[in-house]
Amino acid sequence: MNKGGKFARIMKFGGSSVGSAERIRNVAKIVLDALRQAQGKPTKGGVAVVVSAMQGVTDKLLALDFDFVKEKHLAAAKELKVPAPMELLNELELVIKGIKLLGDASPMALDLVASFGERLSSQLVASYLNKKTLSIAVDSRELVKTDSNFQNAAVDFTATNRNIKKFFSKLVVSRQSSVVVPVITGFISSDSAGKTTTLGRGGSDYSGAIFGVALGVDVVEIWTDADGIMTADPRIVKSAATLPQVSYEEAFEMAYFGAKVVHPATMLPAIKKNIPVLIKNTFNPKHPGTVIIGSAAKDGKIVKNVSAIDGMSLINVGGTDLAGVPGTAERVFRAVSEAKANVVLIAQASSEHTICLAVRNFEADRAVNAIKKEFENEVRRGKVAVERRDSQSIVAVVGDNMRGTPGIVGRVFAALGAAKINVSAIAQGGSERNISCVVNEGDKTAAIRALHREFFENVGELKIFLVGTGVVGGELLKQINLQLTTNDLQLKICGIADVEKMYLSEKGIDLRNWKKSVRAGEKTDLSKFIAEAAVMGGEKVFVDCTASEKIAKMYPQLVKSGFHIVTPNKKFNVSSHKEYTNLRSLLATHQKSFHYDANVGAGLPVISTIKNLLAAGDQIKKIEGVFSGTLSYLFNNFDGKRKFSDLVAQAKALGYTEPDPKEDLSGQDVGRKLLILARETGLPAELAEVKLENLVKPDSYFAGRIKKAKAKKSVLRYVATVQNGRMAASLKEVPMGNPLASLSGADNVFAIYTKYYKNPLVIRGAGAGAEVTAAAVLNGILRIKNGKTN
Ligand code: ADP
Ligand code: ASP
Ligand code: MG
């Protein structure tokens, strides 16, 4: 049953998404998925689709290349096994012939030709979808009404909204309780005389919003070939990152200044009804993409995006007569506007003798002539000169938080200057959400990269993102704060998350009252935490001070998103060997470090020592030791005079054990450390291969063992060993002279036997405790700061 035009979503697919038969099949899959989800909803049971012309088709139509267009659609129709759109193609052939014959490529004629792109693609997509679910092609020219400004028409919203509502309320389809999926042409419209108009290049995004808002959908979705709006065009900047959330204003400004992933006008209808616009990747539908809503992300980011528009001309109107003469600027702008040229940028030259404006190349003649005419007398007397420079680009940095943040213009200038790029004009937009500069077209790419580096890749200070503020996390912050006040550590904490709350700030969190900031932060959402952190520039370290397996599972994604990782959490390193090696190769590919020294022996340099020995060509023959502080304490104090269980109770009271001492006695934690060390020596081992003696046993067992040991002048130790590919831990008798015998308190000991160290290298000391563990984590962070990968 059709629910009377109640559409949950409008899904606009761009030219890249419908560029071939294979891609159209992929689009159908996405639409059918969406339909299934929508049909589960109580009210809005449908989805509506808007399509662009197939990739490259609009350009070819405007070049009057009929053959290309015909071949492309016939091939796609054949592959999709749908009827060839012969009627449309025949009509198109006639139109193109006519234009060529008359030599009339007026904007009006070109709009008619261009309209075939969307009409053809909507027919193909609808025919294919119709094989799976009920679907019809809808020609938007009958619904979207505009003025007669061909190629860039302005929408008459009153008529358009009325038409759309009426059309879709009458669209009753009742075959097998299906909901019809309309496949609407984007980009095209008609004027009051019924002549075909278009909304400007890239305008089908705008169509998506126009239909979405008229139909009252919950979300306008723009499906394209990038993972949302990124910090720069990913084709220009390899390290560009997705912006998870931007405001309507930011999105408008980014799009206006060249982020062509979405047409700027898209935001205008959406903003009025406060409907979110979602930018999604057709080729990576699982990626969350970018959501455009009323407010910018609270990520403390100042600059969000660097983009550029090509094909600009810079016009300088200068001369002594302009200085201080009131009304001059007004005359310039009136002349240009009457010539119907759109001023993209106005720059205030420092001299005040010059008015500087940027217009599109194809409007430059008009603009220059209009200005010359307006200042005819002054020009003749040589008092005013009008200069024009073509092949210019406007490069812009955009961000809501630029408002009221001083120093951005300076950074833009410095970054471009350092890259030896000549800036011929610079302007801060009226909204203060952007700073734009005019550069030579040839310098555009270098300018974008230089600015992206400045605002997103600046490796000045290492940015730390901490998850987990328990004993170790809290201690770590305390130690960092202490160091920051006395040393120039060159690092700052830009994000802290605990189980309940999280707080991010690119400027850095004041560690004197971090607790207050976190408490006032937002509800913890780790994906959001990571996404917002990932967008910040510079070298970033993710510090995991939890014992969470869920967070450990995120390490591969974190590395891909550009984070180094430092952690005392053992969970990742005991996952399957496949995951273990996969992460290692990801780290190599993305040139990121992973420091986990605190996994074994807390602050003791066990893992780093093994790494160093191996790097120097040594071979590890055997590692033997006492890896558990709790078990160390128990057997250092067990003399057989007291019951073993009493000793355990005492240790628990002193806080030496886990809340449930069975966890220590089971040996599980020793097993994990064994596996981590074994893997460190190159063994492709799994946790299940570790052989552990479980010490959850009756007192009589321990009484018997200690008696035997004493008789041999030995002591009892829970000894863990890695040797010959085997990992095992059990209660052993250790003779007095052995390095494992002379232990006190809750110390750990590691005896490393190697090709060079036949007498073992022994590392002994406190193997647990918040202070030593946090210090080991801080040491890992500082090693990254110093560019050490191990
Ligand atoms: P569609 O065919 O879906 O309309 P477009 O080619 O119009 O796609 O827009 C998508 C392209 O926009 C991307 O492939 C990307 O190269 C480019 N682009 C430019 N700036 C950005 C940006 N800031 N974020 C993402 N993509 C961008
Ligand atoms: N097909 C049109 C163009 O290429 C509209 C669009 O793709 O959004 O400009
Ligand atoms: Mg587009």
Q: What tens digit of pLDDT does each residue of 755-780 get?
A: 999 999 999 998 888 899 999 999 99
Q: Which ligand is nearest to the CA of 255?
A: 1
673 is known as an active-site residue: yes
Distance, CA of 175 to CA of 179 (rounded, Å)? 8
For residue 397 and ligand 1, the question of a CB distance below 6 A is answered with no
* Choice among 673, 697, 708, 788 that is catalytic: 673
In terms of residues, how long is the chain?
A: 790
Does the CB atom of residue 261 touch ligand 1 within 6 A?
A: yes
Per-residue pLDDT band for 44 (boundaries 50, 70, 90) equals confident
140-165 burial, b at 16+ Cβ within 10 Å, e below that, comes to bbebbbbeeebbbbebbbeebbebbe
Whether pLDDT at 459 is above 80: no
pLDDT given for residue 2 in this prediction: 39
57 Cβ inside 6 Å of ligand 1: no
Return the pLDDT at 590.
79
214 token code pair: 């008229």
Q: What's the confidence (pLDDT) of residue 60?
A: 98
Q: Which atom of ligand 1 is nearest to the CA of 224?
A: 3
Which whole number is the average pLDDT over 372-393? 93
Inter-CA distances, 102 with 96, 105, 358, 736, Å: 10, 8, 35, 107
Q: Nearest 5°: CA angle at 97, between 96 and 98?
A: 90
How many Å apart are CA 749 and CA 624, to the nearest integer? 8
On the 0-12 / 13-18 / 19+ scale of CB atoms within 10 A, 239 is: middle
Mean of the per-residue pLDDT values of the chain: 92
Asked if 160 and 268 touch (Cβ cutoff 8 Å), the reply is no
Structure tokens at 513: 């009252």
- The yes-or-no verdict on residue 608 having pLDDT over 60 is yes
296: its two tokens:
């910018």
pLDDT given at position 91:
98
Compute the average pLDDT of residues 159-172. Answer: 90
C-alpha 205 – ligand 3 centre gap (Å): 7
Q: CA 747, CA 626: separation in Å to the nearest integer? A: 8
Separation between Cα atoms, residue 429 and residue 149, nearest integer Å: 27
Q: What pLDDT does 460 receive?
A: 67
| Shortest-distance ligand to the CA of residue 199 | 2
Q: What span, in angstroms and rounded, lies between the C-alpha atoms of 430 and 552?
A: 46
Residue ID of nearest Cα to ligand 1 atom 11: 261
Would you say the CB of residue 233 lies under 6 angstroms from ligand 1? yes
- Ligand 2 first shell, C-beta below 6 A: 14-15, 52-53, 58, 117, 186-187, 201-205
Alpha-carbon gap, residue 171 to 179, rounded angstroms: 10
* Max intra-chain CA distance, the chain: 118
Residue 176: pLDDT band (50, 70, 90) is: very low
Average pLDDT (201-226) is 97
Q: 334-355 burial, b for 16+ CB within 10 Å, e for fewer?
A: ebbeebebebbbbbeeeeebbb
CA 34 distance to own-chain centroid: 23
Tokens describing residue 145: 């009404």
Note the pLDDT of residue 789: 56
pLDDT at residue 5, rounded to an integer: 47
Burial class of residue 761 in the structure, from the number of CB atoms within 10 Å of its CB (0-12 exposed, 13-18 middle, 19+ buried): middle
**Distance separating alpha carbons of residues 96 and 111, to the nearest angstrom:** 12
Q: What is the pTM of this model?
A: 0.67
Q: Which atom of ligand 2 lies at the shortest distance from residue 205's CA?
A: 8
Distance from Cα 189 to the centre of ligand 2, integer Å: 13
Distance 97 CA to ligand 2 centre (A): 23
Q: Do the Cβ atoms of 69 and 203 come closer than 8 Å? A: no
